[in-house]
A and B are shown apart, each in its own frame.
Chain A
Amino acid sequence: MSRVIGIDLGTTNSCVAVVDNGQPVVIPNTGGYKTTPSMFALADDGKRLVGHLAKRQAITNASNTVYASKRLIGRRFESAEVRRASELCPYAITEGPNGDPRMLLGEKTFTCAEIAAIILREMKRVAQEYLGEAIREAVITVPAHFNDAQRQSTKDAGKIAGLEVLRIINEPTAAALAYGFGRKNAEETVLVYDLGGGTFDVSILEMGEGVLEVLATAGDTFLGGEDFDRLLVNHLIEQFEASEGIDLRAEPMALQRLKDAAEKAKCDLSGATQTEVNLPFIATGGDGPRHLSVIVTREILERLAADIVDRTMTTVGLCLSDAGLSPDQIDQVILVGGQSRMPLVQERVAEFFGKRPHKGVNPDEVVAIGAAIQAEALLDEDQNMLLLDVTPLSLGIGTYGGHSAKLIERNTTLPVRRAHVFTTTRDNQTAVKIRVLQGESDIAEENDLLGEFILSGIREARKGEPEVEVSFDIDTNGIVSVSARDLSTGREQSITVNATGTLSDDEIQRIIDENDLYEIQVKD
């Protein structure tokens, strides 16, 4: 039987791991790096570049290089998040036929799932080269608060990349699995603080005897390390504008250099208290080339980032109250995601919980390791790890008056099935429209519309008489399916909820075929 890999498909970096002889190992890429940038570029000559190669040329080819596309996956083009992203990205974002955002590189548009697939394919390649065998199956991680559309799109991406996705699991949960591996006898309550490149998650778990039960999870899909970089880039631009009178915002190439430099400076400042950003020839003034040279101190960075870090702590508090726990009831705090290396983050967390966070895991690799462990736990009977995960978002249907009736509350253990009876609002109404909503608001519009379908053929009757039973299923991947049944006629209709932003099967097949043109075969 071929082995199953675990892939942490990150906003900025991705990582792949496998359980080898009972021990999880992170697989380095050909360059020897354990993580690979989640970047994709179309070079001038039409060549496709992924990972480090894409990152290296990003400066000179900024408008054809995609990064952080995970922030867009499963979202709608007109959503606030996509608008915000398109203001910040050097590449162009256009609207696809399903109302989904697509990236325009050269002449060709790419869906988010396609970009994710290209990165997954790269991770698969890395694993195949390392293990010397073909890989067909994977467990892929997503941020805990990803909604159904985002999970579906990630699953689609796996399919496009030629991987059967055994399971989609939540990143903080994966991290907890990695922490719990080898600590099967410990009975502990742990909190995972996962501040990644583009997303922030908190999960609280209880563990014992190899079972991990998620008590609560909370997060923010649009908060992460990228935001720290952006703040620092703005700071650098302002400094430069003040000293040289030149605005660098309109220069894609300069922006890309600034972004790289800011990211590097940010990382340096986790160790050093000050660093220098040197970008010679960043612009041309009336009298020749200009150079950017700015000293950035840790203090400046912390002042810039204080608000964001405070925001994460608010989310931590929310998650604790959902779990019904106080900070002193948390035995262990696990920091995950590269941005959690920031000293300010560690201080705030230590302050909040009154104890130092756990040091034993590598924040960049732990999620992929957890994914590999989950794959092993599913397939190996002797592997005694069991994950009891929850749904991060409430699920309901739209009802009369623009309301949302919740059928499954957030933080309900998966898998779950709930059924409820609804009725008509008009006399002789023969069809009902079922609008499936995900989110916490009582107002239908404020939630994500996962999809809608119409149950027709209801017998004519006075309003309030027909009985339509709507059942919701959320599987262990967090993916939703819905069915509706007219109790008097027995007529039934079911859908796997397909948000308008996701791809149809035909489209997925088309992309698979197309991508195969670019695939290299592993030589056995």
Chain B
Amino acid sequence: MVLARQRDAAAARVPRIPEGADPTTLSLTPAEGYLLSRIDGRTSWRDLRQIGGVRPEDVDRCLERWLAEGVVELAAGTDSGQAAPRPTAGAEPPRSPAAGTERAESERIENRPPAAPPTAPLAPAPAAAQPASPALDPGLDLPLPLQEKLIDLSARLEAPYHEILGVPADADRKALKRAYFGLSREFHPDRYFRKQLGPFQTPLERVFRKIVEAYELLSDPTARAEIERSLAAASPQGEPVAAVPDSAAAGPEAAPARPRAPRRPHVFTLAERMRKERKQRAKRLFEAGMAAFAAERWLEAAGGVRLAIAFDPWNAVYKEQFADVQRKAHEESARKLMREAENALDLRDYPAALRAFEEALPYRPGDVALLRRAAQLAVQTGGDLHQAKEWALEAVELEPNDAEGHRLLGQVYQAAGLTANARRELELALQLDPGNVEVRAELRELSGGSSPLRWLGGKR
């Protein structure tokens, strides 16, 4: 171990950006910017030289220049990963969203059916937490250089995929395969069948799985395009690919969230996979919705079907069913609101009753009785007369030959001080129902004060 360290002492030095330095003031080429972005205070000079995308000699040239300029300083030589702290989640390079089942903790929330906001704070990832790197141990059945490599790779599991494979970012399929086969020969668990790996057992498995993941995703053109886009965007956190509307609330599902596991690249493209998953999800939601419908839980049913349409907007069956389900759900909502309104009336809470009427109206389009009750209540309790007029007007339009409608509209106008309008409506009401003494009285009241004598006089 000591030998290995001495041999590579120079290359093992770790460049880092000194505190207070502001590299954004530099003028850099994209390649230089890329290189700068790789300097994280953990990655050694040697490893930087092996990063794909920038030639090793360019890495040396840039680092030497930046050292001279004071943009970068060298930390004391260290076995990479051993002493260095783990990067915090926020500082991690963008992960491909299509990737990663391994470090599920950050995805748990997204992955689960979204109905429930997580109540318990997510425990900081017991399973996937990175244990401290094991110390080199010549007593193990694992050559020291490989131990070093494992430590190094374990610390860089979140690096861009091509760096995991140690190929340039633009490596072709053949180069990917070569790298993958080469790494498999080093890190496949079968190579250490019945071997004493001690604390390296878990890192070995983890590294191999990451290698497989990197190879599979980079071999899949669609996934690779995503990865390259997110690398280019270089935002600290890549936007998840699967922009599936995740607001499903009604799904009473043990629905697995869409499996975002990387799969064999050859079987489906990413887009096909996502389409398929959305369709499946839609189907589940729809079926849950229909089950609720059968159980007369109308609101839940409508929620399920609406979400199913959101996931699979081209499905005619869902849309067809939706009309029925929605009607039932509206009826249910209206019933609830009407009950609420009655309760409020009982308690003489008129504003609340009025609100409930108002809310129930959209669910009962064309309900003349409801419109009139709402308008009447507004007039009687000093509610919004403008609104009351709209309701009364609508009721009249729906039943133009009903005297009561015109009378109500007249009352609204009267309350609002629009006497001419009020008179017109009351007259219309009287025409439709000439025997209505109440309307006649109101009309008389309107034209000449409020004395009951007028009424008596009218009788003459």
A positions within 8 Å CB-CB of B: 166, 206, 208-211, 213, 215-216, 322-325, 377-379, 384, 386-388, 390, 397, 399-401, 403, 405-413, 415-426, 432, 442, 461-465, 467, 469, 476, 487-488, 490
Contact = CB atoms under 8 A, between A and B. Distances in A.
B113 A386 contact: no
B185 A386 contact: yes
A377 to B, nearest CB: 7
A411 B220 CA distance: 14
B112 A386 contact: no
Interface stretch (B118-126, B154-162, B415-423): B118-126
Interface string B165-191: 000000000000110111011001111
Given A401-B287, A409-B267, A425-B254, A416 B209 contact: yes
Given A400-B252, A487-B120, A323 B115 contact: no
Contacts of A409: 261, 263-264, 267
Contacts of B127: 419
A407 B255 CA distance: 12
B216 interface: yes
Contacts of A206: 177
Contact of A216 (B190, B193, B264): B264
Contacts of B123: 487, 490
B432 interface: no
B120 A407 contact: no
A322 B190 contact: no
Given A420-B256, A422-B256, 18 more contacts: A206-B177, A215-B266, A324-B265, A378-B190, A386-B191, A401-B288, A401-B291, A412-B264, A415-B189, A416-B212, A418-B261, A425-B252, A462-B116, A463-B116, A464-B116, A464-B252, A465-B119, A487-B120
Interface of B: 101-102, 104, 108, 111-113, 115-116, 118-120, 122-123, 126-127, 177-178, 180-182, 184-185, 188-191, 193-194, 205, 209, 212, 216, 252-257, 259, 261, 263-267, 280, 284, 287-288, 291
B186 to A, nearest CB: 10
A442 B255 CA distance: 13
A442 B113 CA distance: 19
B189 A488 contact: no
A419 B256 contact: no
Nearest to B114: A464
B259 A377 contact: no
A324 B266 contact: yes
Contacts, number: 155
The 4 closest A-B pairs by CB, nearest first: A324-B266, A464-B115, A405-B256, A464-B116
A461 B118 CA distance: 11
A407 B259 contact: yes
A399 B254 contact: yes
A215 B216 CA distance: 11
A407 B253 CA distance: 16
A198 to B, nearest CB: 28
Given A403-B284, A420-B259, A209 B190 contact: no
A281 B118 CA distance: 79
Contact of B177 (A208, A379, A407, A408): A208
A408 B184 contact: no
A399 B181 contact: no
B255 A405 contact: yes
B113 A464 contact: yes
A405 B267 contact: no
A322 B267 contact: yes
A469 B256 contact: no
Given A216-B266, A379-B194, A400-B288, A211 B184 contact: yes
B112 A423 contact: yes
B288 A467 contact: no
Given A323-B266, A469-B104, A400 B194 contact: no
Contact of A386 (B118, B190, B205): B190
Contact of B253 (A215, A322, A324, A399): A399
A6 to B, nearest CB: 15
Contacts of B191: 386
A487 B291 contact: no
B252 A408 contact: no
A213 B205 CA distance: 18
A422 B254 contact: yes
B112 A467 contact: yes
B111 A388 contact: no
A9 B264 CA distance: 29
A413 B211 CA distance: 11
Contacts of A400: 252-255, 284, 288
A379 B261 contact: no
A425 B253 CA distance: 6
B106 to A, nearest CB: 12
A426 B288 CA distance: 13
Contacts of A213: 177, 180-181, 184
B254 A423 contact: yes
A411 B267 contact: yes
A209 to B, nearest CB: 5
Contacts of A462: 116
Contacts of A399: 253-256, 284
Contact of B193 (A209, A378, A403): A378
A426 B300 CA distance: 14
A463 B252 contact: yes
A406 B288 contact: no
A422 B296 CA distance: 26
A388 B116 contact: no
A213 B101 CA distance: 22
A469 B256 CA distance: 10
Contacts of A426: 252
A407 B261 contact: yes
B184 to A, nearest CB: 6
B185 A407 contact: no
Contacts of A390: 264
11 contacts: A213-B177, A324-B266, A386-B188, A399-B256, A408-B261, A421-B256, A425-B253, A425-B254, A464-B116, A467-B108, A488-B120
Contact of A379 (B111, B193, B263, B265): B193
B216 A407 contact: no
Contacts of B291: 401
Contacts of B284: 399-401, 403
Nearest to B123: A487
A344 B228 CA distance: 49
B404 to A, nearest CB: 47
A408 to B, nearest CB: 7
A388 B188 contact: yes
B113 A411 contact: no
Contacts of A377: 190
A209 B181 contact: yes
Contacts of A208: 177-178, 181
Contacts of A463: 115-116, 252
Q: Which of A324, A325, A416 has the most CB of B within 10 A?
A: A324
B185 to A, nearest CB: 6
Contacts of B255: 399-400, 405, 422
Contact of A417 (B120, B180, B209, B265): B209
B129 to A, nearest CB: 14
Contacts of B115: 423, 463-464
B193 to A, nearest CB: 4
Nearest to B128: A419
Nearest to B183: A211
Given A386-B188, A415-B189, A406 B266 contact: no
Contacts of A378: 190, 193-194
Contacts of A411: 264, 266-267
B182 to A, nearest CB: 7
A485 to B, nearest CB: 8
Contacts of B177: 206, 208, 213
A131 to B, nearest CB: 21
A166 B194 CA distance: 10
A411 B263 CA distance: 8
Contacts of B113: 423, 464
